[in-house]
Structure 1
Amino acid sequence: MTDPFTPDVVTAVLRHMNEDHADDSLQIVRALGGYPDAVSVQLATIDPAGAVFAVTVAAGGVVRVQLPWSEQIVERPQFRREFARMHSESVGGAEG
């Protein structure tokens, strides 16, 4: 799969999620990523197929968690919708 996003776009999305939405990302990996014992998280990378988080678990160590998007991302605004969807699902809400 070809990645349509330049490195500066990827860096901007990672920075935004890691600086402004760290708590949301933690909720997402705890609920959807299968790591309820996660103590911290960094969004490591994104591509058109999904997001990869570096998750620090309570027992120590870091694991990589890959979560797929609901559809292939081809436009930058889709990232926001997909992270909002993941967060909504992680707290038991409907897609918003």
Structure 2
Amino acid sequence: MTHIFDDAVRSAVLGHMNDDHTDDNLLIARAFGQDAAARSSTMTGFDGDGGDWSVESAEGVASELRVPWPGGPISERAEVRREIVALYDEACARLGIEPRPHA
């Protein structure tokens, strides 16, 4: 059964991703979505199986993107960061971009 994170965890993660990592959201959307030229992406949700993004295409068309966690299902808050970092790293690899170091 898919793990559902509580509202406080979801709010904290989404706030952090959408305030501090807008470029990472866009890289993930371009690498895993249908439009490598997408112009914006916002993380809209996540659960134990993956993350959700709202993506705006180069033409201004909105779509939803669901990306499964690379390491498989998760159930702990700390695992969310690990999986988002893994998505970022894979997005960089797919797009031929050098990833920044992780703190």
**TM-score computed with the length of structure 1 as normaliser:** 0.89
Structure 1 equivalent of residue 86 of structure 2? 85
Structure 1 or 2: larger strand share? Answer: 1
Superposed displacement of residue 33, structure 1: 2.2
Superposed displacement of residue 10, structure 1: 0.6
Runs of 4+ with deviation above 3 angstroms: none
Gap regions ≥5 residues in structure 1? none
Gap regions ≥5 residues in structure 2? none
What's the C-alpha RMSD, in Å, of the aligned pairs? 1.8
Aligned length: 95
Q: Distance in 1 between matches of 2:26 and 2:2?
A: 28
Q: Distance in 1 between matches of 2:4 and 2:27?
A: 28
Structure 2 equivalent of residue 39 of structure 1? 39
CA distance change for structure 1 residues 2 and 67 in 2, over 3 Å: closer, same or farther?
closer
Structure 1 equivalent of residue 76 of structure 2? 75
Superposed displacement of residue 8, structure 1: 1.2
**TM-score computed with the length of structure 2 as normaliser:** 0.84
Percent identical residues: 37
Give, as a single letter, the amino acid of the residue that structure 2 aligns with 1:34: Q
